[in-house]
Structure 1
């Protein structure tokens, strides 16, 4: 009976595809970077391989939740982009498939370290520093002081004028939370977040949304990765980008194959492309400014110089732990989100 049911399901799928004239995608990818880069990567990969693939953009936390929910019957082959600590969490839950990519030896040291830390389940594809940016025209109009440090953002002058991501869905915002804990210590970080919360206009589902809102003048300050702010500034928006004076954290964006992927060989081929200079070049071609992980890739001209920014020694092992992520999110929800 099970065999008949399975055959019927396959037949129904074939008939549906035949009747609509739509071929089933040869690969399903969840994308955690900007929509324009997701689209550029899809176009480049299809042009190179002649295959049709499905690429869907989601926030990093939402991707992790989907992969968790589908662990017994995955519908996704590859998770491409999004903060690496979230990929590490998925790997530690046995949700990802180990794979030795073709270009692993060409990776920069920070990417090689990340690959080793993941147990060969995730490969770093880019890096970017966390920060914030403000709309210079709006700041001038409101006659407000220019912030230069994390603690400046708690000034009453910015009441209701800051946006940040929600760390439950946004990998960027979880990196912010983890960065503040590492900078100030956990209890002091949560006291800071409580003070900052009084100035937060909105917690957005996406980590890039705050900087886009600041660019358009819909809010004064957006907390985000600095490369996302550079992209908006290049588009002509009046943003001033700030590397906070106390120091800041950073992300390693990653690519991973989902355990139980239906198209495993094509998934490996996609990972190899994502780590190649050609694949990584789709970022700069679509206006993105992350630092690529392949030493042979071309650095985008406007990419922030990470070596010139005061950085914390970001603890990916700790903050890539599912237990630590869950604990910090519960505390954030109880002490910060619940007060809104």
Structure 2
């Protein structure tokens, strides 16, 4: 065999090895998305266009995801968890269910997103933020002669009986944020007294956090207690929905992202993590009618996004209410005092 033939064989073998390595590096990514399904699908499509990686996505609420990640701790089937309220991400971090990772994108993020990461030992990071409030159907309210609700207290009006929907805090991060916010605004005992009174006006405790305002948009309910950006999204779709930030003050979420400890596709999980923090990626969220405040300082803020400076925000205690013991105690009390009498 000539030296030229040997060189050709060596080159071919090297090329085959490189191709095999590239295929292995591309691989797959197992993703749980806890945001609205429209932004989940847009993120998946954009990522697959930019990378030679097959994304296997499941859409679950943040409470459901936390439970799944916890149940699968010894044999993780998920690589990365994107979206959903920060409290369950912090709970997962405190239980060592997620992986410490400092993205090279950290220095481009707003301080609230970095603080979220630091409080969790860099086992999660903030990707967007949004204030809690509600959206109500203005046409339905006008038709029924109902008073426009501006404050938490207004939601207890007897004429709103059967007109309100809110999610179940066991499955929904949105509803858990509402529960924790009311406890911080009113004190725990008074908050539960409020929730018992509110129950008389609640027609349904939904599984998903955004479902209540979607029902209000369709006229199936008068009002949904949700994150304000979810109400704004219904307005942007052309529904007669008005969003409200309650006058007494309100809590907010820091939507988060975490890599699952024991991820089988760790390199691809880190690839998604860094990609999802880029300004051009976060600027695209508005195209899926997601109107949260992005965590990257250079990302475009949607003009429709409710601004924190226009809202009376409480100093939401993420550390306390992201603690698994505190969450467990509040949810058990909710089950005993509210869930047990729920309509």
Q: Secondary structure at the match of 1:33?
A: coil
Q: Find the counterpart in structure 2 of residue 143 from structure 1.
A: 145
> Match for 1:258 among 257, 260, 265?
260
In the TM superposition, residue 174 of structure 1 has moved relative to its aligned partner by 0.1
Q: Secondary structure at the match of 2:129?
A: strand
CA distance in 1, matches of 2:284, 2:126: 16
Number of residue equivalences: 317
In the TM superposition, residue 50 of structure 1 has moved relative to its aligned partner by 2.2
CA distance in 2, matches of 1:132, 1:258: 32
Could you list the runs of 5+ residues in structure 1 that have no partner in the other structure? Answer: 1-23
> Match for 1:208 among 207, 210, 216?
210
- Contact 1:172 1:225 (C-alpha < 8 Å) held by counterparts: yes
Q: Secondary structure at the match of 1:53?
A: strand
- Contact 1:44 1:282 (C-alpha < 8 Å) held by counterparts: no
Q: Find the counterpart in structure 2 of residue 20 from structure 1.
A: none
In the TM superposition, residue 25 of structure 1 has moved relative to its aligned partner by 6.1
Q: Secondary structure at the match of 1:96?
A: coil
In the TM superposition, residue 319 of structure 1 has moved relative to its aligned partner by 0.4
In the TM superposition, residue 190 of structure 1 has moved relative to its aligned partner by 0.4
Q: Find the counterpart in structure 2 of residue 68 from structure 1.
A: 70
1:138-177 residue pairs with structure 2 within 5 A? 138-177=140-179
Q: In 2 relative to 1, CA 26–335 (structure 1 residues): closer, same or farther, beyond 3 Å? A: same
1:241-252 residue pairs with structure 2 within 5 A? 241-252=243-254
Q: Find the counterpart in structure 2 of residue 119 from structure 1.
A: 121
- Contact 2:232 2:242 (C-alpha < 8 Å) held by counterparts: no
Q: In the alignment, is residue 316 of structure 1 matched against residue 283 of structure 2?
A: no
RMSD over aligned CA atoms reads 1.0
In the TM superposition, residue 117 of structure 1 has moved relative to its aligned partner by 0.4
In the TM superposition, residue 316 of structure 1 has moved relative to its aligned partner by 0.3
1:218-297 residue pairs with structure 2 within 5 A? 218-297=220-299
> Match for 2:200 among 163, 181, 198?
198
Could you list the runs of 5+ residues in structure 2 that have no partner in the other structure? Answer: 1-25
CA distance in 2, matches of 1:335, 1:217: 29
Structure 1 length as normaliser, TM-score?
A: 0.92
Q: In the alignment, is residue 94 of structure 1 matched against residue 127 of structure 2?
A: no
CA distance in 2, matches of 1:324, 1:291: 27
In the TM superposition, residue 84 of structure 1 has moved relative to its aligned partner by 0.5
Q: Find the counterpart in structure 2 of residue 48 from structure 1.
A: 50
1:70-124 Cα offsets, whole Å, 9 max, x none, are 0000000000000011100000001000001121001101111111101100010
CA distance in 2, matches of 1:245, 1:208: 21
Q: Find the counterpart in structure 2 of residue 21 from structure 1.
A: none
1:141-184 Cα offsets, whole Å, 9 max, x none, are 11111111001101111001100000000000000000000000
Structure 2 length as normaliser, TM-score?
A: 0.91
1:207-237 Cα offsets, whole Å, 9 max, x none, are 0000100011100010000001111001100
Q: Find the counterpart in structure 1 of residue 135 from structure 2.
A: 133
Q: Secondary structure at the match of 2:81?
A: strand
